[in-house]
Amino acid sequence: MKSRDTFAPMGPWIVTADEISDPQSLPIKLWVNGELKQNFNSDDMAHKIPRIIEWVTSIHTLEPGDIVATGTNHRGLSALMDGDKVEMEIDGLGILHLGVKDDLKRTWLRETRLDRANNGLEGTTPQISGKYS
């Protein structure tokens, strides 16, 4: 589940469509604990923005002020853990800073699915400590 109560980080500010000349051409970077994990462009999205809006509005009415979250391209990410510091920058829009808090203090190996595949391993990164390990 991606959208738990109180979880919808946005910012550092929200802009309107007239403030971005081409939303399909925005450089995006993401750091975890100061290490660059993602460096991609919004033109790399699996589905382009007009198609996303078309699909969403086929099942849900969008009203002025509604936000459609699209996520990242997922390449280079591993599990986030308690105490991690995440920074995400969209060129020209600023940097969103957030901290990760996990009351269960769970930990995972710091490897990506690509790392696992390159090492001949299948599946997702295993949880190595915490309540559900």
Q: What is the pLDDT of residue 132?
A: 55
Q: What is the pLDDT of residues 69-106, one digit of tens each?
A: 887 776 778 888 999 999 999 988 899 999 999 999 98
Asked whether residue 7 is domain-assigned, the answer is no
Task: Tell me how crowded residue 42 is: count the other CB atoms within 10 A of its CB.
Answer: 19
The reply to whether 6 falls in a domain is no
From first CA to last CA, the distance across the chain in angstroms is: 18
Instruction: Tell me the CATH number at 97.
Output: 3.90.850.10
Flag whether 29 is in a domain.
yes
Q: What's the confidence (pLDDT) of residue 130?
A: 60
Q: What is the pLDDT of residue 128?
A: 66
* pLDDT for the residue numbered 1: 45
**Segments in the chain below pLDDT 70:** 1-6, 74, 124-133
User: What gap in Å lies between CA 51 and CA 59, rounded to an integer?
Assistant: 13
| Residue 3 included in any domain | no
Q: Report yes or no on 96 lying in a domain.
A: yes
Q: How many structural domains compose the chain?
A: 1
Closest of 72, 78, 74 to residue 116, by C-alpha: 78
Q: Is residue 9 a part of any domain in this protein?
A: no
Q: What percent of the chain has pLDDT over 90?
A: 40
Q: Assess if residue 97 is contained within a domain.
A: yes
Task: State residue 62's pLDDT score.
Answer: 93
Q: Which domain holds residue 41?
A: 24-129
Query: What's the rounded Cα separation, in Å, for the pair 62 and 3?
Result: 18
Tell me if 13 is assigned to some domain.
no
pLDDT of residue 22: 92
